[in-house]
């Protein structure tokens, strides 16, 4: 009499398979390569603006870029956060569930012994890992380009003080971590939308439209009571990472708001996927 054998694949193998599946898609490679171009183009543009000896025109971090190479990755991350990073997060979230449904492979995954919650966890891991990779690429390329074009003796902060190279690099890393968390918040909502449709374009359009609407709502003084609940309204406060000493109030607030979006988005995705017909 034959004995039953376990049919569930090891979790590590499933996670590696998910990452390979994402990285092998041509649009993933194109998207990551395009993100690498952002700090290069921004650095070259700012370099041309300071070749005449005058500081570049612009608010905030862009005004202190001259001779301050470590400011370039921070500037680039803030430049990509309002639109580019939410877009790539939405693409990966759309492919994770809606893309599988569109190609007819989601049904097979849902009736497999993997389990619906486990399946969502694997998809979430892939999206989270790719978000880290996207931000890391922008950061690394930004640091290299910034040091080559503007020097890297230290980091001039918005407060007027100069941090040594090591401390400045730490601020760059902190910025990357904060941006990743914000990206996860957007991706979690996109993943929840992805469980409700079979069309990836709907997920991407809804996520970008929501980002734009949130940004517009945050501009009205009459809706100031709503700003604490809008994830986009906290992004401006992330610039405090470039101040010395480091104020943590707005940084913690932005992280907490993004954490709430992650919790709500994943909870809605679990509820929807658990009730989804096989």
The 10s digit of each residue's pLDDT in 111-147 is 555 677 788 888 889 999 999 999 999 999 999 999 8
The 10s digit of each residue's pLDDT in 155-192 is 888 888 888 988 999 999 999 999 999 999 999 999 99
Residue 222 has pLDDT above 80, yes or no: yes
SS3 string of the chain?
Answer: CCCCCCCCCCHHHHHHHHHHHHHCCHHHHHHHHHHHHHHHHHHHHHHHHHCCCCCCCCCHHHHHCCCCCCHHHHHHHHHHCCCHHHHHHHHHHHHHHHHHHHCCCHHHHHCCCCCHHHHHHHHHHHHHHHHHHHHHHHHHHHHHHHHHHHCCCEEECCCCCEEEHHHHHHHHHHHHHHHHHHHHHHHHHHHHHHCCCCCHHHHHHHHHHHHHHHHHHCCCHHHHHHHHHCHHHHCHHHHHHHCCCCCCHHHHHHHHHHHHHHHHHHHHHHHHHHCCCC
The 10s digit of each residue's pLDDT in 49-108 is 766 555 555 555 666 676 688 889 999 999 999 999 999 999 888 887 777 666 555 555
Specify the pTM: 0.88
């Amino acid at each position: 009499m034959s004995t039953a054998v376990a049919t569930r694949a090891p979790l590590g193998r499933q996670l590696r398979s998910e990452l390979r599946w994402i990285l092998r898609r041509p649009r993933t490679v194109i998207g990551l390569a395009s993100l690498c171009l952002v700090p290069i183009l921004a650095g070259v543009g700012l370099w041309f603006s300071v070749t005449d000896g005058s500081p570049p025109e612009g608010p905030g971090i862009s005004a202190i870029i001259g001779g301050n190479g470590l400011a370039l990755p921070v500037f680039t991350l803030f430049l990509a956060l309002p639109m580019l990073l939410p877009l790539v997060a939405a693409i990966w979230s759309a492919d994770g569930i809606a893309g599988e449904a569109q190609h007819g492979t989601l049904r097979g995954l849902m009736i497999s012994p993997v389990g619906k919650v486990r399946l969502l966890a694997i998809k979430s891991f892939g999206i989270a890992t790719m978000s880290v990779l996207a931000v890391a690429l922008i950061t690394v390329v930004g640091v290299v380009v910034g040091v080559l074009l503007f020097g890297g003796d230290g980091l001039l902060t918005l407060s007027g003080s100069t941090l040594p190279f090591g401390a400045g690099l730490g601020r760059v890393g902190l910025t990357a971590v904060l941006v990743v968390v914000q990206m996860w918040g957007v991706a979690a909502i996109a993943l929840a939308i992805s469980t409700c449709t079979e069309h990836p374009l709907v997920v991407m359009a809804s996520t970008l439209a929501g980002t734009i609407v949130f940004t517009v709502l945050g501009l009205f003084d009459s809706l100031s009571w709503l700003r604490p609940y809008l994830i986009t309204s906290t992004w401006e406060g992330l610039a405090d990472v470039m101040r010395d000493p480091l104020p943590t109030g707005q940084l913690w607030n932005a992280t907490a708001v993004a954490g709430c979006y992650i919790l709500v988005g994943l909870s809605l995705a679990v509820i929807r996927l658990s009730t989804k017909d096989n």
